[in-house]
Amino acid sequence: MTSYRAGSAVAPGTDLGQHARALRRVHDAVMGGSAPVATVRPVVSRSWRRTLGFGLDPTHANARDPLPLGEVERRRRASPLRLVVDEIRAVLTSVADASRFIVVVTDADGIILWREGSPGVLRTADTLGFSEGAVWTEDHVGTNAIGTALAEQAPVQLFSAEHFEEGQHPWYCTASPVHDPRTGAMLGVVDVSGPALTLHPALIALVDTATKLAEARLWRHHEQSLQRLRRSAEHVLATTHGPVLLVDDDGWVAHHSGVLVRDRIAAPRENLPLTVPGLGLCLPERLGEGWLVRPDAQAAVLVATLRTVGGEALLEVSGGDDGGWRAALTPRHAAIVRLLAAAGPDGLTAATLSRSLFGDEEHQVTVRAEVSRLRRVVGAIVAAAPYRVAEGVHLTCDPR
């Protein structure tokens, strides 16, 4: 059995030209419906199956559906990766071999937002539609490191004919997802691509270093943002009596007084009561760029019911001063709410939720991101560490 470094498309000491020719024979056999003479790596096999299911043609370039420049600029401004893209490029273009590859950064939708590198390789990339605004997910361009990293939620390196489209066979690509260090949500992908026969074994480590640096820098930006929020609210906090929290739009705590809390509560929303351990029911008040969270003296117990109405899951909540509210839930979010309601006060870990939702414990990052998105919708109806129905909330679910 061939021995590969973790994530590598090529085993140490491999003759790249010979390996590329062997992969081409395997690719031609699989795409032609014949039994291949050799096996392909599992990540490639899974991706080929997905891509063939999309009905794409391996013999020509499939639609890239490039976005207008104005939309690309809008996405750049909205992407948290704008804060770290210069550092990513600096790390990856600082090595001697940078003259032989290009660096690409996409958003979580697989849309290329930034691209830099060797002019010659850039010109060749243009002929493939590998340019700003192009969509490089598997359902658009087949098996490629960017799209496959998004699909697998993991780093991916592809070499030559491991790509689905024949036009990409002269290339290697090494891609790694970048996650929000606060929530675990996917932000995008960092990719290094170049001529297949120039693949260097150190590229996987280099791209991994760049993504880890990006995530560390994003966390530092987060800390600085909380510091700015704290300074801007000093005059109000100095005259506020009783237990209080100052949090940002995502619920991260910039200041606390009179209550012990974790680093984060549920994301506050205007006129949406939430529960905070140690404070009970609270009604957040907008304060500059953040929120002041204090106990609501007139709040009652929140009563929540998950119902299915016309095939749609609705969470109906009553209690507090606003007279109640309702929120539509996705099927995945409704499933999470049902699991937490059944678990009772002991709650569930990310690993347990992963087993219940996906059948294994390999999707804990996805679970954390899903619960984070759920809490944006329902406030602190759902508490964390472990995930559970919050204190002060009576939740029932109708039979499905």
* Same-domain pairing of 349 and 387: yes
> Where is mean pLDDT largest: 82-86, 345-349, 389-393?
82-86
**Is the separation of the CB atoms in 131 and 125 below 8 Å?**
yes
* Same-domain pairing of 107 and 25: yes
Question: Among 85-89, 224-228, 274-278, which stretch is predicted with the lowest mean pLDDT?
Answer: 274-278
Mean pLDDT of 7-23: 92
* Same-domain pairing of 202 and 270: no
* Same-domain pairing of 218 and 248: no
214-226 residue pLDDT tens: 999 999 999 999 9
In a domain, 264, yes or no: yes
Looking at the DSSP bridge assignments, the partners of residue 315 are 306, 327
* Same-domain pairing of 29 and 169: yes
Mean pLDDT of 335-362: 93
Flag whether pLDDT at 154 surpasses 90.
Answer: yes
pLDDT of residue 322: 46
- pLDDT band of residue 28 (cuts 50, 70, 90) is very high
* Same-domain pairing of 259 and 159: no
* Same-domain pairing of 201 and 278: no
Mean pLDDT of 84-113: 92
301-337 residue pLDDT tens: 678 899 988 889 999 887 654 456 778 899 999 999 9
Question: Among 180-184, 207-211, 288-292, which stretch is predicted with the lowest mean pLDDT?
Answer: 180-184
DSSP, collapsed to helix, strand or coil, labels residue 233 as coil
From start to end of the chain, where are the E strands? 102-107, 112-117, 156-159, 171-179, 186-195, 244-247, 253-257, 274-276, 280-282, 285-287, 290-293, 302-309, 312-318, 325-329, 382-383, 388-389, 393-397
238-256 residue pLDDT tens: 888 888 999 999 899 999 9
- pLDDT band of residue 96 (cuts 50, 70, 90) is low
pLDDT of residue 5: 55
Flag whether pLDDT at 26 surpasses 90.
Answer: yes
Flag whether pLDDT at 394 surpasses 80.
Answer: yes
pLDDT of residue 298: 60
Mean pLDDT of 358-366: 90
In a domain, 2, yes or no: no
What is the percentage of the chain residues whose pLDDT exceeds 70? Answer: 94
Mean pLDDT of 278-297: 84
Q: DSSP class of residue 82?
A: G
* Same-domain pairing of 325 and 201: no
pLDDT of residue 3: 45
**Is the separation of the CB atoms in 248 and 290 below 8 Å?**
yes
Flag whether pLDDT at 165 surpasses 80.
Answer: yes
Number of domains in the chain: 2
Write the CATH number for 90: 3.30.450.40
* Same-domain pairing of 261 and 358: yes
221 or 281: which carries more pLDDT confidence? 221
* Same-domain pairing of 136 and 268: no
Residues 257, 263, 265, 266, Cα dihedral to 10°: 150
pLDDT of residue 281: 75
Domain boundary among 168, 189, 222: 222
φ/ψ of 107, rounded to 5, equals -90, -175
Mean pLDDT rounded to a whole number for the chain: 90
* Parent domain of 69: 16-222
Flag whether pLDDT at 299 surpasses 60.
Answer: no
Residue 395: which of 305, 327, 300 has the closest Cα?
A: 305
* Same-domain pairing of 246 and 218: no
Q: In angstroms, rounded to a whole number, what is the distance separating the alpha carbons of residues 350 and 360?
A: 11
Flag whether pLDDT at 194 surpasses 90.
Answer: yes
296 or 200: which carries more pLDDT confidence? 200
* Same-domain pairing of 367 and 270: yes
Q: In angstroms, rounded to a whole number, what is the distance separating the alpha carbons of residues 252 and 242?
A: 20
pLDDT of residue 167: 96
In a domain, 119, yes or no: yes
pLDDT of residue 321: 45
pLDDT of residue 239: 86
241 or 87: which carries more pLDDT confidence? 87
In a domain, 227, yes or no: no
> Where is mean pLDDT largest: 160-174, 291-305, 351-365?
160-174
pLDDT of residue 272: 75
In a domain, 9, yes or no: no
In a domain, 11, yes or no: no
- The encoded tokens of residue 177 equal 């997802």
R_g of the chain, CA atoms, integer Å? 25
φ/ψ of 185, rounded to 5, equals -70, 145
